[in-house]
């Protein structure tokens, strides 16, 4: 089956990793997203794609694909070049670094009207499934913007920051399936 065609047989999850930007030519987050594409674990179909490091286009892609797929979980993955270990982000904040332009040359100061902070309701489950700590600061660049705006738009979103070397795609796929199964059990009871 080609990458343009996705046959979901039931519950699914969408995993979106960021592409290149600045000095990060080979972004480990997009490698992870591509590596989990097409996996089926514990009844969960996983769709993985790369998205641009763009304030606008990354969220637009997430919204379009979520409308098409209706995933139980939308996981964003980004690289945190100064971190040495993976961490799940608990909060998206309505702030941005005005000095850092995205790949489209766009700089933003905030993400419009809205609360100062939004909490991912899936962060604890994902951190537990991955065996990584929670972080309370997603930064001020596109990763934070993606999380904040995805939550604001009502997506069942979580965000994972990985170090430059990434983490194992199998580990991410298994954690995603575990979280989706937890969500399914909750909704059934």
Q: How does strand 157-162 pair with strand 87-89?
A: antiparallel
Q: Total domain count for the chain?
A: 1
* C-alpha to C-alpha distance for 27 and 19, rounded to whole angstroms: 6
How many residues belong to the chain? 189
pLDDT of residue 10: 59
On whether residue 101 sits in a domain, the answer given is yes
Structural domain of 34: 11-188
Helices (H), the chain: 28-36, 55-69, 123-130, 142-152, 169-188
On whether residue 51 sits in a domain, the answer given is yes
On whether residue 1 sits in a domain, the answer given is no
Top-confidence residue, 20 or 95: 20
Does residue 92 contact residue 117 with C-beta atoms inside 8 Å?
Answer: yes
> Which pTM was predicted?
0.92
pLDDT of residue 56: 92
**50-76 per-position pLDDT tens digit:** 999 999 999 999 999 999 999 999 999
**19-40 per-position pLDDT tens digit:** 999 889 999 999 999 999 999 9
* C-alpha to C-alpha distance for 29 and 169, rounded to whole angstroms: 10
């Amino acid at each position: 089956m080609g990458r343009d065609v996705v046959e979901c047989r039931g519950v699914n999850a969408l995993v979106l990793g960021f592409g290149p930007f600045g000095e990060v030519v080979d972004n480990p987050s997009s490698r992870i997203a591509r590596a989990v594409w097409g996996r089926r674990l514990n009844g969960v179909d996983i769709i993985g794609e790369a998205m641009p490091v763009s304030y606008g286009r990354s969220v637009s892609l997430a919204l379009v694909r979520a409308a098409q797929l209706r995933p139980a979980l939308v996981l964003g993955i980004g690289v945190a070049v100064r971190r040495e270990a993976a961490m799940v982000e608990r909060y998206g904040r309505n702030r941005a670094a005005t000095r850092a332009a995205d790949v489209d040359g766009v700089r933003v100061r905030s993400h419009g009207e809205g609360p100062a902070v939004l909490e991912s309701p899936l962060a604890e489950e994902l951190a537990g499934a991955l065996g990584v700590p929670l972080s309370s600061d997603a930064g001020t660049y596109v990763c934070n913007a993606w999380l904040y705006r995805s939550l604001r738009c009502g997506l069942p979103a979580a965000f994972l920051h990985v170090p430059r070397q990434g983490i194992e795609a199998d580990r991410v796929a298994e954690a995603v399936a575990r979280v989706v199964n937890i969500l399914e059990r909750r909704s059934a009871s």
